[in-house]
Amino acid sequence: MKRPQFPFRAVLCAAVPALIMSTLSAQHRPDGFNYDESRVPEYTLPDPLRLENGDAVEDPRAWSEKRRPELMELFREHVYGRQPAAPEGMRFEIRSEDTEALGGKATRREITVRFAEGRDDPSMEILLYVPNGADGPVPAFLGLNFFGNHTAHADPGITLSTRWMRSNRSMGVVDNRATEASRGVRADRWPVETIIDRGYALATIYCGDLVPDRADGLEADSAVTAYFREKEGRNERGKDEWGAIAAWAWGLSRALDYFETADAVDAARVSVLGHSRLGKTALWAGAEDERFAIVISNNSGCGGAALSRRRFGETVRRINTNFPHWFCLNFRDYNDDEDALPVDQHQLIALAAPRPVYVASATEDLWADPKGEFLSAKHAEPVYRLLGLDGLGVDELPAPNTPVGHTIGYHLREGGHSITEYDWEQYLNFADRHLR
């Protein structure tokens, strides 16, 4: 079987469309950071189909039994950290249910997931909408949100979150607490009615239920990370201990645990997705938990879909400095030394194989490095081909608003850092092709 030769050199990669480059003058440029494609260094990508001992991976069994477990360990040790199994005392409580939600087209359910016996122990809240009138369990989309479940829709029946949130008056968050003004403020990112009309359920969870998104969030009383560390009798954070992204991903798996007990959602057809930092989370959740049927990354950038070795937009140093709680401590060893990383993000995308995976970028979102996200998807392709599947199927970054791909999907959308109706249309179409 013929496959691309490694190393891949930056000078051999596809050119960035003029539309992306034209945004450079308008885009904010932090001092000392590179938005100039000509300054991207030459780099060598680690081969997803070569073991650490140098042996080539030449058949699906070698991938599943040797290389995939090896890559998982490398990402756990050097990037995201190690996470625990589901707690034995976990239980699910139906907090509320309305069978006539959204004008009667859906059932809205709120589920409290308790990770331990005590009511003051860590827990999370799932908001779930399921289309009414389905013949049986339906496929679903599952993703985390940034400012509480109540921001996903103006539905007055959604419980207002009482968890800590970063103050943001435009989001209706005052003194780190949500107010009624925050209800439905992110509905444009969650087209609930469209998803329901297409025959899918939608579930979302506030990421702050698991770990508050702040520098000291891992130590917060409500954080699952602090709970498990105390349970294990440890005071200090281990070098390969999970960060917030792994903890958020862990919570997505616990929601999937719930779906396996619920008769309305087909747990074998759940697509996990996320935007920005939560897109990084979705990719890691899809790697850690092979039960997810489809994995979707929206503008996830550094530590997500973008190649670290390109050093374009947000870098490893910048992300570790600004967000010290997101990754494991070992990841800091690669600040300004990305070439020393034993992995890169094309291998993270490959860990979704053989399941479908979708990566999306935006022309004005240079901080997330659209070209680097595309190249990750492209360089994951050899794994899919090894498994007998069509991968991305194109060699160059497509024109804006031109979805491409097969088992690996990709699009470059016009606009900035957000998740839009256009993005959702592509994800729904992709799910239709692979889950229907």
In a domain, 290, yes or no: no
Looking at the structure, do residues 394 and 307 belong to the same domain, yes or no? yes
Looking at the structure, do residues 136 and 240 belong to the same domain, yes or no? yes
pLDDT-above-70 percentage for the chain:
93
Token pair of 268 as six digits = 């074998």
Looking at the structure, do residues 25 and 106 belong to the same domain, yes or no? no
| Of the candidate ranges 23-27, 288-292, 373-377, the one whose mean pLDDT is the lowest | 23-27
* Residue 83 pLDDT level (bands cut at 50, 70, 90): very high
Tell me if residue 417 is catalytic.
Answer: yes
Q: How many domains does the chain have?
A: 2
Looking at the structure, do residues 61 and 141 belong to the same domain, yes or no? no
In a domain, 160, yes or no: yes
In a domain, 282, yes or no: no
Catalytic member of 276, 297, 300, 308? 276
Looking at the structure, do residues 122 and 264 belong to the same domain, yes or no? yes
For 269-306, write each residue's pLDDT tens digit.
999 999 999 999 999 999 999 999 999 999 999 999 99
pLDDT-above-90 percentage for the chain:
89
In a domain, 425, yes or no: no
Looking at the structure, do residues 51 and 97 belong to the same domain, yes or no? no
Looking at the structure, do residues 220 and 313 belong to the same domain, yes or no? no
Say how many residues make up the chain: 436
Looking at the structure, do residues 136 and 197 belong to the same domain, yes or no? yes
In a domain, 86, yes or no: no
For 230-243, write each residue's pLDDT tens digit.
999 988 999 999 99
Question: Domain residues for 157?
Answer: 91-245+259-268
In a domain, 54, yes or no: yes
Catalytic member of 64, 406, 417, 418? 417
In a domain, 117, yes or no: yes
Instruction: Please say whether the beta carbons of 52 and 70 come within 8 A.
Output: yes
Q: Report the pLDDT value the prediction gives residue 383, as an integer from 0 to 100.
A: 98
Looking at the structure, do residues 103 and 160 belong to the same domain, yes or no? yes
Tell me if residue 418 is catalytic.
Answer: no
Looking at the structure, do residues 399 and 371 belong to the same domain, yes or no? yes
Looking at the structure, do residues 114 and 37 belong to the same domain, yes or no? no
In a domain, 129, yes or no: yes
